[in-house]
Chain A
Amino acid sequence: MSTSSLTPSELAASIDPAVTKTVPRATGGRSTGGRLCGGFLSSELVTMFRRWRNRALLIALAVIPVALGLALKLTTGTANGGGGNGGGGGGSGFIDQVSNNGLFLVFVALTLTLPVFLPMALGVVAGDAISGEASQGTLRYLLVAPVGRSRLLAAKGISLVLFCFVSSFVVSISAWVTGLVLFPLGRVTLLSGDTVSYSDALLIAVLITVVVAVSLLGLAAIGLFVSTLTDTPIAAMAVTVGVTILSGILQSIPQLSSIQPWLFTDQWTSFADLLRDPVYTANIVHNLWIQLLYVAVFGSAAWARFSGRDVLS
């Protein structure tokens, strides 16, 4: 800006030799962590949220609580709570509560989106992580830039973690706003029968959203791993979503009770325990351990696969 007398090439020539000649040799490969935050991770996040497909996924997630709220608003007038059509104990309990307190729409929306819609959105984004770059050919240009394979995988992993949180909060914030508009406010009756103030309940809602986001981390790791296996993003997305469905099916077969505690979907409903006083933490902690295990196993597998793989796309 101040060097208006210089042509662009002179300008770049005056700046760039210093960049190329000193920085790479001075810092070498040891600056991965520092550079990740400053440079490529932000590029990764900007790219992720600039993409209309990902925005559309988040918009769809935001619409679900609104539709749910409207449906409940219209039906409660006539059927007054209706039958417990939610299936699981927590779900139907929440649905009955929504007409009394809008905040319960947050819990209902998370209960309904966690088994299908959140994993589906995450499956699309996670399955696309590496395979999408491979299929559009950008992977080879990132690697020769050179981005560094571990650095690329780390940026993808961190952005997926962020997507888990963003997508969960999109659902709960949309549900919270819808609840504010359509339903009464006030003290909240917990599942254990105690009542807490609205602000305390709001804090619980935030905690529950965090637990839901954390519940998705294992799947994110699976998706990242699958996306390193193929150059076809659709296949990776289908496998990731399919794995969730498969896990749900295995969950429902009584003969498999010995492996069920190790399925990543096993404790997905544990977030409802935060609505008890005192909070029943055993399942929530179990859930955290499961997710941690999956992230460790599939994160390592993704790294092992990707760091040595021939990139032919």
Chain B
Amino acid sequence: MRREPGRTVSDAADIKGTGGGEAGVAIATQGLAKMYRGGQLAVDSLDLTVPTGSVFGFLGPNGSGKTTTIRMLMGLIAPTAGQARVLGVDVLLHGKRALPRVGALIEGPAHYPYLTGAQNLARYDAADAAADPRTRAARVAEALDRVGLANAAGKKAKAYSLGMKQRLGLAAALLQPRELLILDEPTNGLDPQGMREIRSLISSLAADGTTVFLSSHLLDEIEQVCTHVAVMNHGRLVAQGPVAGLYASQQARLAVTTEDRDLAATVLKEAGGEDVSIAAAVVSCAAAGLVPEAVCAALVGAGVRVAGFGVQRPTLEDAFVALTGEGFDVDQ
């Protein structure tokens, strides 16, 4: 199950009952692949489906092909094979029709250091041929206001802190009302308050119906804001679907903290617990099919000195590590 490409955790097309039709899908790729010069296969037959209105977490270790995928979605690089449709439009052929409706933050913000924050945004706004020059100033002011940079609008971008640059990048993505936001590490470099603000901004945008495609290493963040996730590893999609679906592959465990380890293990086995394990002062077993209250009573009844008892819900981190492996070394 682990190394299987394509849909594993759940069938993404079933989400929200949209049946995979164009109307309900913000991003759809079919057999998308990219081989760089030198033969490195960065992305391999990717079938990604991002439902409209979802907050979609895009996960994967460094070098797993996330950024290459995002660049292909934005028409910056041409796929070696396959097709990418964004908002129902083939980006390679008709990018101009889709891209004005997409806001993006790709691999960190980038600015003209010698221009002010407002001038930077005005330049990006001018780059969009569909943007009306007469309302440019209003759009720039509103975008700056939205990310909390209104007071720094007249400051040169080179004088901005890392967090301010990140906000300015977000402001560029929010210049127009967007149907889709593709955000690569949006909270990178922000302080905790800044992270909270950005998360609440993402939530409010999602509440307005904007689809958010969020790439991040911060699993907490993904867990907090995302409705759907996809996990990439070695250029392949190893899982995609609703967040709950990802947990389904991970089992919750009953954990008992006690001095009487052997006795507790016996009681758990008698209660029907499977996969009993003992680690330090914690004895645990699979929680499936057990009633925690009854097990606790049984433990106490058997004379186990229970210092702690609880059900450990699987975290996204557990699921992520199970899908992508423990390895710390960057592949290739």
Contacts and interface: CB of A to CB of B under 8 A. Distances in A.
A252 B177 CA distance: 60
Interface string A29-49: 101100100111011000100
Nearest to B72: A310
Contact of A140 (B110, B112, B131, B133): B110
A51 B99 CA distance: 28
A16 B78 contact: no
Contacts of A310: 71, 76-78
Contacts of B112: 47, 136, 138
Given A24-B97, A148-B96, 14 more contacts: A8-B141, A12-B177, A15-B138, A16-B176, A27-B130, A32-B129, A40-B127, A43-B123, A140-B74, A143-B74, A146-B95, A146-B128, A310-B76, A310-B77
A50 B113 CA distance: 11
A143 to B, nearest CB: 6
Size bin of chain B's contact surface:
35 or more
B106 interface: yes
A144 interface: yes
A148 B94 CA distance: 11
B241 interface: no
A137 B108 contact: yes
B176 A151 contact: no
B126 interface: yes
Interface in B175-196: 176-177
B97 A28 contact: yes
Interface in B71-108: 71, 74-78, 95-97, 99-102, 104, 106-108
Contacts of A141: 104, 106, 110, 124, 127, 172
10 contacts: A20-B130, A23-B130, A24-B100, A39-B126, A42-B126, A51-B114, A137-B110, A144-B76, A144-B102, A310-B71
B135 interface: yes
B74 A144 contact: yes
B131 A19 contact: yes
Contacts of B261: none
A145 B110 contact: no
B198 to A, nearest CB: 17
Given A43-B126, A140-B106, A312-B71, A145 B99 contact: yes
Q: Which of B71, B128, B142, B172 has the most C-beta atoms of chain A within 10 angstroms of its own C-beta?
A: B128
Contacts of B127: 40, 43, 141-142, 145-147, 152
Nearest to B125: A145
Given A138-B110, A311-B71, A312-B77, A11 B138 contact: yes
Size bin of chain A's contact surface:
35 or more
Contact of B126 (A8, A25, A31, A40): A40
Contacts of B76: 140, 143-144, 310-312
B122 A20 contact: no
Contacts of A42: 126
A19 B132 contact: yes
B15 interface: no
A167 B87 CA distance: 46
Given A20-B177, A145-B124, A136 B111 contact: yes
A259 interface: no
Contacts of B77: 310-312
Contacts of A35: 129
A13 interface: yes
A152 B129 CA distance: 11
B318 to A, nearest CB: 34
A9 interface: yes
Contacts of B138: 8, 11-12, 15
B146 A20 contact: no
A142 B124 contact: yes
